[in-house]
């Protein structure tokens, strides 16, 4: 019997959750072995000294976003083939991001009803923004984005550096599962 996309998504989320539990245990062990310190940079901003545990949560955030990016691209291609859609993902106009293009492809072109999971999509949009700061700015948030990032539950600021709480990682993984499963079932 063929495995459905829904089952594959749930399995990927389960495996990522198991991986994260191991990483959280490693982060706790590493933090207890290495003294954590706060230093002041040239500009007078504080930042946390980088021991190995400082890289774990940002990596998790990127892993969740990569899961979302992979599966949304796959689901868009699936619906393009299934429905012989006139517009492909590349033909989506006015998208603010690739995540927005996926969402528009699924809701406007493939006509999936994803309103019940709008809260999860909104969280994934914030996940995308946080991930972009991690990837493109080393986790540092420019002043114009700081107010928006400070409002994200599970993200705090230390100077210009975004600090990720465990809750943000778990909430992001849960919202990814909810949104992806809805898109796979629709």
Does residue 50 have a pLDDT over 90?
no
Q: What are the residues facing 72 on neighbouring strands?
A: none
Under 8 Å between Cβ of 111 and 117: no
Encode pLDDT of 126-146 as tens digits: 999 999 999 999 999 999 889
Q: How confident is the model at residue 27 (pLDDT cuts 50, 70, 90)?
A: confident
Give the whole-angstrom CA distance, residue 148 versus residue 95. Answer: 20
The pTM is what? 0.86
Encode pLDDT of 53-99 as tens digits: 678 999 999 999 999 999 999 999 888 888 756 666 666 777 889 99
């Amino acid at each position: 019997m063929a495995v459905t996309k829904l089952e594959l998504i749930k399995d990927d989320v389960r495996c990522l959750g198991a991986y994260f539990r191991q990483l959280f245990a490693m982060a706790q062990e590493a933090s207890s072995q290495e003294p954590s310190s706060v230093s002041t940079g040239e500009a007078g901003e504080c930042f946390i000294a980088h021991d190995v545990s400082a890289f774990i949560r940002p990596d998790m955030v990127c892993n969740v976003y990569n899961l979302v990016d992979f599966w949304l691209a796959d689901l868009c291609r699936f619906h393009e083939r299934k429905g012989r859609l006139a517009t492909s993902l590349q033909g989506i106009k006015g998208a603010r991001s690739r995540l927005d293009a996926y969402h528009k492809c699924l809701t406007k072109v493939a006509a999936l009803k994803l309103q019940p999971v709008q809260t999860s999509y909104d969280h994934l949009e914030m996940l995308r923004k946080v991930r972009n700061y991690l990837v493109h700015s080393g986790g540092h948030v420019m002043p114009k984005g700081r107010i928006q990032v400070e409002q994200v539950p599970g993200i705090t600021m230390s100077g210009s550096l975004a600090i990720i709480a465990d809750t943000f990682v778990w909430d992001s993984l849960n919202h990814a599962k909810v949104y992806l499963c809805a898109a796979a079932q629709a």
